[in-house]
Structure 1
Amino acid sequence: MCGLTGIVTADGRTPERATLEAMNTAQAHRGPDQHDCALLAGAGLGHRRLTIIDPASGEQPMRSEDGRYTLVYNGEIYNYRALNAELEQAGYHFDGHCDTETLLRAWQHWGESCVDHLRGMFAFAIWDAQTQRVFLARDRLGIKPLYYGLTADGDLVFGSELKTLMAHPRIGRSVEPRALECYLALGYVPEPYAIFRDTFKLAAGHTLSWQPGAAPSPTAYWDLDFETRQSDAPEATATELHERLDEAVRMRLVADVPLGAFLSGGVDSSAVVSLMAGASDEPVKTCAIGFDHADFDESDHARQVARQFGTDHREHRIASQEFGLIDTLVDVYDEPFADSSALPTYRVCELARQQVKVALSGDGGDENFAGYRRHRLHWNESRARAKLPASIRKPVFGVLGALYPKMDWAPRVFRAKTTFQSLAMDTAEAYCHSVSVIPQDLRERLYSTAFKSELDGYRARDLFRAHGDNAGTEHALSIAQYLDFKTWLPGDILTKVDRASMAHGLEVRVPLLDHEFVGWSASLRPDLKLHRGQGKYVLKKAFEGHLSDDILYRRKQGFSAPIADWFRGPLRDAGEGALTAGPLVDCGVFDRSALADLWEQHVSGRRDHGPAIWSLLMLSRFLARQLGGATHDVTTTAEPAHA
């Protein structure tokens, strides 16, 4: 696991060493073991290495024998041994047994189609000195990140984190309004956007081949297919699921350094630990995070699984006094990032790194098998939506959604406002509404007139609609899962884990996101995932007899923080300060009176705006730390280089 960065100049000049080294140093945490830069005519490539396999070789940048190709790479290719055997048959020689050399030989043999042969998580860049072209690629699910952008001089810069691009003196820091709208809706900046204009994320499953003078134009090489196999039987499918996941876990146990696992006590991480225990001769090293707030604490269940499989288990408990970590998180994530579970994720990575250098996680189970409560609600709403023509449904439920009061304090059965609003929408917009941290109607009230003009009608729902049009399925649940794989999973879950883990020099592997396993699970009938209101139905069936019913069938708790209570308690001063003074008030994006009203409604107990206030607090800290409070350019009209 590593960090990469690079510059390709518009005029063929050799980049300045000081600039390239500054970009590489900005990501030093991603690779504390080795670092180097290669300066070439037309390009410069930098790399930081965290050694996991074959520490004695695999230094990067790696060059081909003839000097034509130079590679920098971040990730793990789990099928590298099989690829080595195939490439040796084709006449290629290997000096070591690291997967970096495998990737270089694969490029020499297959060219751009080498990505089709890789099974793993990766982001890489290959410079071709002969054609003066750079090739960027990112793994199918977006486990490993890759940012790119254009400088004012037309140079292409890229790196594993946005901070590497920001170390270049010719990359601007003007905030992209559409990215900010998406952040305020979702709590993260979804791909292809990055928070600054003319900077982008290379989307999951995409490549980018670029020569100076061209507009960057990413190309998709892989996508999810939700075409179902109608003959699936639950028992046989559960057995196959267990076998497939076991293979994915075993592939991820190859390492030349200590290895362990995150254990939350939920179904997904417990399933991974159970398979690791079956494949390991030594006790699995596990770690967990607890809260001093009982409603958010799963540590008892984690201990139960640890006892069952005899793991070497460690815990850390998060208390209110750990809020000093907020500014650290702002620095770690580069962009505003409002998933409150980033705090415990940072701590569990810190805890894991004390014992191991690689940890397996259970991320991806909810996305693969419809494990979120919102999946059930979305499917139910879609059935109701299908019973009424849009000509009746939209005006009737639109009026009900507008008039029905928002009653966060009432029992759940009486909180119908969001449901009424969703029933007036199309499928993709309704799902965007269901996952929004700050709903669109509230964002409209918060925005200033100037910022609304800057957005020119753009809303986060437009991104969801664009993805929904490409889903290739009409089933509402499959559309929701597809949208999760395009937005939530790479933008929130995988970003959270990558930055938190790499901040501690820890590699995290995600067997539930093996692309072959994901492709297989996508092909399952929706009712095998969500069955009679039970999410992850077939996954739970697959682990009956391996995990207790208390682990498999208890109410989903989620890995989050009690932020609503925090803002009425230990974070009250921080929340009030963010919403009544400072960058949020001065940046030109928000209506000051609307911010003050939002705060008053929350602290009075009339409304629960905890997630919205957390998002605004993290944005305030981002504006202050990353932009030094210089936020006047947020509402400066400019066209991005491309979308």
Structure 2
Amino acid sequence: MCAIAGIFDLHRHADIDAGLLQAMTDRQFHRGPDQGGTHHEPGLGLGHRRLSIIDLGGGQQPLFNEDRSVVVVYNGEIYNYPALMRELQQFGHTFRTHCDTEVIVHAWEQWGERCVERFRGMFAFALWDRRQQSLLLARDRLGVKPLHYALLDDGQLLFASEMKALLVHEGLRRELDPLAVEDYFAYGYIPEPRTIFRQIRKLPPGHTLLLRKGQAPSAPRQYWDIPFAVHAPISEAQAADELLARLREAVRIRLVAEVPLGAFLSGGVDSSAVVAMMAQESQAPVNTCSIAFGDPRFDETPYARMVAERYGTRHHAQSVEQHDIGPVDRLAGLYDEPYADSSALPTYRVCQLARQRVTVALSGDGGDENLAGYRRYRWHLHEERWRALLPSGLRRPLFGTLGRLYPKADWAPRPLRAKTTFQALARDSVSAYFHSVSIMSDQLRGSLFSDKLKRELAGYHAREVLQRHARQCPADDALSRIQYLDLKTYLPGDILTKVDRASMAHGLEVRVPLLDHQLVEWMSSLPPDLKLRGGTGKYLFKRALERHLPDELLYRDKMGFSVPLAGWLRGPLRPQLENSLRSPVLADCGMFNLDHMQTLLAQHLSGRSDHSAPLWSLMMFESFLRQLPAAAPRKPVRQAA
């Protein structure tokens, strides 16, 4: 994969600081260790780092059109580029390379800003048209590839694949956004378009941002959304066959590479399905890799081996034991902002393992969101049926009272946690789903946050993220609505961010066939009962895969890609946890109730409560704050005009 960076002065034509541009580009060297390049002209600078995958000798960037009036820097893969190249040649466009990057330049010339609607793949790019004096920033539909930008007080716009490149610039204010802090401690990540910094934004998935010299920046424009459009009735057997055919095609177009290619194989349904399709499309054995845990409650490697043996893959597994805590403090440096998904640890290790043998790996990410694989979907629909039985005027006070009076039992299986169920039934649908996905309750955040932070929040609540997306949701049924919310928030903000940063840390490209936008559109049109039927999530997917994968893999309880975090925090991570919570940076930031923080720590270490999620979140937040000064920016020196 690659990295992009740039500086665009919206008002002036003075030369940008070439040294600053180079520093921003080099700060992302890990994303593109093979080649690098920059381009600058009055008021504009573009930088690129390249991980060579296709057209190894001819795909250097920045890349220009014939008269050098249009130039692009790009991160991603456009899988339908051969067809687009042929179509553009019929319009008279001339190509000098055989890479997908050049398609972007000519597609812009032919179709303008709507060119992104023709691209099938994952991408983030910046394109400058000198004749039109316009800069186009674009991000793919599902948010596989990242793109950050910031408008400085002097009218310069900075952009980059990762925020660490923006932080090189001294003119960027590093003021933290209190709303992002609330979002982080609710979700465990910071959903688009917000970042931890007030001045930096993420370009949302499926959006473009068109900037013109001399004009004030406009708002990002959405060019795609998950349709959830109901298609003509289809039988279960027809739907199963079509699902596999579409997945097979999505896998096949992602097998094009001039470097070694393989796959992650966790032992779950999604990665196993991708490997099965790869094996049937490949002439040589597929390279697969997986991560094992010493704790059998978290170890899926027996199922991974089952699939590897069935399809004769070259399988490699690596163990992550309790003493393997080396990457913990590095995570803040990878993600550039607080990020609390502890599965980032094994993801980092599996990417490291894969990169020893391949440069490109296919993953199974996206199956749970598209095909209703999460357990929380079942519970939400069950609660929705109860919510529908009583009017809100009666339901809210009744179940609200029961929720307050019933004893807390987090240790018990979900069906016995009546307090949680009563609280959910007292809420509206979106608020209940927010409560389901939150890593920390409203009450706990309220006790943890300082009075100062609460004043700065001014009544803001992280639930508003889901409410904003719910208002735009095109679906009518309860299951599709929460799938839509996850596709807009959890998928890009947590899952894809985790994989992008962990893979790029090792110079590994990850491709995601289950997030092929044409496949996603088709899956969204399926009737809900083909996705979740009774207690079976991914119902149609599993039925379709019965000829390709064993039933003991397809129909076992979902395990998930997680770590035994509660035990680790009481064991090998305890010294680091205690040091983090006593760190002066947490005290000095003024955001937390330090006494309550120590109460959470004592309760967790004693074994009386499991506070692993809030404690890990605090630990990652402290690591972010502590490492932030180490990224001290250099002072830009503007060249003479």
**TM-score (normalizing by structure 2):** 0.96
Q: Does the 8 Å contact 1:580/1:595 carry over to 2?
A: no
Q: Does the 8 Å contact 2:207/2:221 carry over to 1?
A: yes
Q: Secondary structure at the match of 1:322?
A: coil
State how 1:32-431 maps to structure 2 within 5 Å. Answer: 32-211=33-212, 212-229=214-231, 231-431=233-433
Whole-Å separation in 2 of the counterparts to 1:451 and 1:523: 43
Identity %: 55
Aligned in 2, Cα 1:629/1:280: closer, same or farther, shift over 3 Å?
closer
Whole-Å separation in 1 of the counterparts to 2:628 and 2:406: 40
Q: After TM superposition, give the deviation of residue 628 of structure 1 in Å.
A: 5.6
Q: After TM superposition, give the deviation of residue 627 of structure 1 in Å.
A: 3.9
Whole-Å separation in 2 of the counterparts to 1:188 and 1:627: 21
Q: Does the 8 Å contact 1:529/1:537 carry over to 2?
A: yes
Which amino acid is the alignment partner of residue 614 of structure 2? A
Residue from 527, 530, 534 that aligns with 1:528? 530
Whole-Å separation in 2 of the counterparts to 1:267 and 1:411: 24
Whole-Å separation in 2 of the counterparts to 1:203 and 1:376: 28
How many residue pairs align between the two structures? 630
Q: After TM superposition, give the deviation of residue 421 of structure 1 in Å.
A: 1.8
Q: Does the 8 Å contact 1:232/1:525 carry over to 2?
A: no
Whole-Å separation in 2 of the counterparts to 1:315 and 1:484: 30
State how 1:7-26 maps to structure 2 within 5 Å. Answer: 7-10=7-10, 11-26=12-27
Whole-Å separation in 2 of the counterparts to 1:365 and 1:266: 10
Q: After TM superposition, give the deviation of residue 230 of structure 1 in Å.
A: 6.2
Whole-Å separation in 2 of the counterparts to 1:611 and 1:437: 6
Q: Secondary structure at the match of 2:54?
A: coil
Matched, 1:540 2:542: yes
Q: Does the 8 Å contact 2:136/2:210 carry over to 1?
A: yes
Which amino acid is the alignment partner of residue 74 of structure 1? N
State how 1:577-596 maps to structure 2 within 5 Å. Answer: 577-596=579-598
Q: Does the 8 Å contact 2:168/2:631 carry over to 1?
A: no
Residue from 506, 509, 513 that aligns with 1:511? 513
Q: Does the 8 Å contact 2:403/2:422 carry over to 1?
A: yes
Which amino acid is the alignment partner of residue 595 of structure 1? M
Whole-Å separation in 2 of the counterparts to 1:17 and 1:621: 32
Whole-Å separation in 1 of the counterparts to 2:27 and 2:442: 36
Which amino acid is the alignment partner of residue 621 of structure 1? S
State how 1:553-568 maps to structure 2 within 5 Å. Answer: 553-568=555-570
Q: Secondary structure at the match of 1:501?
A: helix
Whole-Å separation in 2 of the counterparts to 1:406 and 1:22: 53
Whole-Å separation in 2 of the counterparts to 1:110 and 1:254: 26
Which amino acid is the alignment partner of residue 246 of structure 1? R
Q: After TM superposition, give the deviation of residue 402 of structure 1 in Å.
A: 2.7
Residue from 449, 452, 461 that aligns with 2:451? 449
2:639 maps to none
Residue from 619, 622, 627 that aligns with 1:620? 622
Which string of whole-angstrom CA distances, capped at 9 and with x for unpartnered residues, describes residues 544-586 of structure 1?
Answer: 1110001111111000111011112112222223234432233
Matched, 1:4 2:15: no
Q: Does the 8 Å contact 1:125/1:134 carry over to 2?
A: yes
Q: Does the 8 Å contact 1:261/1:361 carry over to 2?
A: yes
Q: Does the 8 Å contact 1:27/1:48 carry over to 2?
A: yes
1:480 maps to 482
Q: After TM superposition, give the deviation of residue 198 of structure 1 in Å.
A: 1.2
Which string of whole-angstrom CA distances, capped at 9 and with x for unpartnered residues, describes residues 598-628 of structure 1?
Answer: 1122122222111111111111111111246
Q: After TM superposition, give the deviation of residue 410 of structure 1 in Å.
A: 3.0
2:637 maps to none
2:599 maps to 597
Which amino acid is the alignment partner of residue 29 of structure 1? H
Which string of whole-angstrom CA distances, capped at 9 and with x for unpartnered residues, describes residues 526-555 of structure 1?
Answer: 111000110000110110111000111111
| Structure with greater contact order relative to length (CA < 8 Å, sep ≥ 6) | 2
Q: After TM superposition, give the deviation of residue 333 of structure 1 in Å.
A: 0.9
Whole-Å separation in 1 of the counterparts to 2:414 and 2:605: 21
Which amino acid is the alignment partner of residue 372 of structure 1? Y
Which amino acid is the alignment partner of residue 510 of structure 1? V
Which amino acid is the alignment partner of residue 51 of structure 1? S
Whole-Å separation in 2 of the counterparts to 1:400 and 1:589: 32
Which amino acid is the alignment partner of residue 316 of structure 1? Q
Q: After TM superposition, give the deviation of residue 457 of structure 1 in Å.
A: 0.7
1:437 maps to 439
Q: After TM superposition, give the deviation of residue 216 of structure 1 in Å.
A: 4.3
Aligned in 2, Cα 1:629/1:85: closer, same or farther, shift over 3 Å?
closer
Q: Which moved more, 1:124-133 or 1:243-252?
A: 124-133
Q: Which moved more, 1:525-534 or 1:565-574?
A: 565-574
Q: Does the 8 Å contact 1:106/1:114 carry over to 2?
A: yes
Q: After TM superposition, give the deviation of residue 44 of structure 1 in Å.
A: 0.3
Whole-Å separation in 2 of the counterparts to 1:373 and 1:141: 22
Aligned in 2, Cα 1:452/1:419: closer, same or farther, shift over 3 Å?
same
Which amino acid is the alignment partner of residue 438 of structure 1? M
Whole-Å separation in 1 of the counterparts to 2:321 and 2:594: 32
Whole-Å separation in 2 of the counterparts to 1:229 and 1:382: 25
Aligned in 2, Cα 1:588/1:403: closer, same or farther, shift over 3 Å?
farther
Q: Does the 8 Å contact 2:267/2:307 carry over to 1?
A: yes
Which amino acid is the alignment partner of residue 30 of structure 1? R
Q: After TM superposition, give the deviation of residue 403 of structure 1 in Å.
A: 3.0
User: Which sections of structure 2, spanning at least 5 residues, go unmatched?
Assistant: 633-641
Q: Does the 8 Å contact 2:8/2:43 carry over to 1?
A: yes
2:638 maps to none
**TM-score (normalizing by structure 1):** 0.96
Whole-Å separation in 2 of the counterparts to 1:233 and 1:613: 48
User: Which sections of structure 1, spanning at least 5 residues, go unmatched?
Assistant: 631-643
Which string of whole-angstrom CA distances, capped at 9 and with x for unpartnered residues, describes residues 481-523 of structure 1?
Answer: 0000110000000000011111111100000000000000001
Q: Secondary structure at the match of 2:533?
A: coil
Q: Which moved more, 1:583-592 or 1:142-151?
A: 583-592
Q: Does the 8 Å contact 1:175/1:196 carry over to 2?
A: yes
Q: Secondary structure at the match of 1:59?
A: coil
Q: After TM superposition, give the deviation of residue 269 of structure 1 in Å.
A: 0.4
Q: Secondary structure at the match of 2:40?
A: strand
RMSD over aligned Cα atoms: 1.4
Q: Secondary structure at the match of 2:560?
A: coil
Whole-Å separation in 2 of the counterparts to 1:355 and 1:181: 41
Q: Which moved more, 1:424-433 or 1:92-101?
A: 424-433
Q: Secondary structure at the match of 1:601?
A: helix
Which string of whole-angstrom CA distances, capped at 9 and with x for unpartnered residues, describes residues 330-352 of structure 1?
Answer: 11111111111111111111111
Q: After TM superposition, give the deviation of residue 127 of structure 1 in Å.
A: 1.0
Whole-Å separation in 2 of the counterparts to 1:26 and 1:397: 53
